A = this chain, B = another copy of it.
Amino acid sequence: MKSKVDCIPCMFRQALNTSRLVTKDQSVIRRIFAQVADWTKRISLDNSPATNSKPIYLIVSEVTGVSDPYAVQKKQTNQGALALLPELRKFIRKSPDPLDAALHIAIAGNVIDMGIGHSFDFNREVEEILEIMNRKLGISDLPDLKAELHPGIKLLYLADNAGEIVFDRLLVEQLLKTGAKITLAVKSGPIINDATMEDAKIAGLTRLVKVITTGGNDVGVNWNNISREFMNTVKNADIILAKGHGNFETCDDRRENFYFLLKIKCEMVARQIGGNLGDLVFKHSHKKKKQVRHARHQ
């Protein structure tokens, strides 16, 4: 998706939230904002918000000298999410539709996102996750996925954030039960609180499936900065499950068979995806129009 002017105030908020993790010095944040101000003047609205945002995080790192401002929070959210696993497994076991339950949990985990919106409080987020686990999805194309799943199908799973990746594991486990052949992709280096290989290990995913990196440390997928291995995996995949805003923003105009799993956190994405702010979404990019009535009449 393309950016809107609305994304520009948000870029300052992203810079502020990230800066606050490593400094309380307003003069340092002023220096960061000055560079962000210059960057916002040069960006193209034809780029996705994710693409336009990446330099914001680089500016914060460069000015503060902290290469990974989210390092501490990432560890904390991984540990917090791991502690929730028994409760979440119970939720799935008790569900009449374990795949649907695991899907729900994976999308609920997308609450753990430090890049968008206000400052981050993991305990508050956990409360929200537990609350929304029973909430109806705003968009659910699960029937499409169920129709496609069969043993041997090649599935690529694009992870989003640390912490959240622990929740993804539960969905991966359910998908493995259907006989799908799964590859999971993480970022090749730190960007916001996105999951890297280390987070995939902590979540126990490297023991379950093949884990690769996209080849870049971009917000979502920067299609000009990916490895050959990642591109080949994309080409060979029958289904790509993509988590979160960044992946949606950078993959929604791709031709591959995508399913997007996310919580809608801003009006721009709400408009693009056809949902409402706050909605939990499982959206098939190749959704076929409903022809039920037509079929019945034949």
Contacts and interface: CB of A to CB of B under 8 A. Distances in A.
A59 to B, nearest CB: 14
A16 B26 contact: no
A37 B41 contact: yes
How many copies of the chain does the oligomer comprise? 2
A6 interface: yes
26 contacts: A4-B26, A5-B16, A5-B26, A5-B29, A5-B30, A5-B33, A6-B16, A8-B12, A8-B16, A8-B33, A9-B9, A9-B10, A9-B12, A9-B13, A9-B16, A12-B12, A26-B45, A30-B45, A33-B40, A33-B41, A34-B40, A34-B41, A37-B37, A37-B38, A37-B40, A37-B41
Nearest to A13: B9
Assign chain A's interface to a size class.
10 to 19
A74 to B, nearest CB: 24
Nearest to A26: B5
A272 to B, nearest CB: 15
A261 to B, nearest CB: 27
8 A-B pairs closest in CB distance: A37-B37, A9-B12, A5-B29, A9-B13, A34-B41, A5-B26, A9-B9, A8-B33
Contacts of A33: 5, 8, 40-41
Contacts of A45: 26, 30
Nearest to A19: B5
A36 to B, nearest CB: 8
A14 B168 CA distance: 38
Interface string A167-187: 000000000000000000000
Interface string A32-55: 011001101100010000000000
Contacts of A6: 16
Contacts of A9: 9-10, 12-13, 16
Nearest to A3: B26
A16 B5 CA distance: 8
Contacts of A4: 26
A280 to B, nearest CB: 22
A64 to B, nearest CB: 14
Nearest to A29: B5
Contacts of A8: 12, 16, 33
A64 B38 CA distance: 22
A13 B9 CA distance: 6
Contacts of A29: 5
Interface in A220-262: none
Contacts of A13: 9
Nearest to A118: B267
Interface string A9-26: 110110010000000001
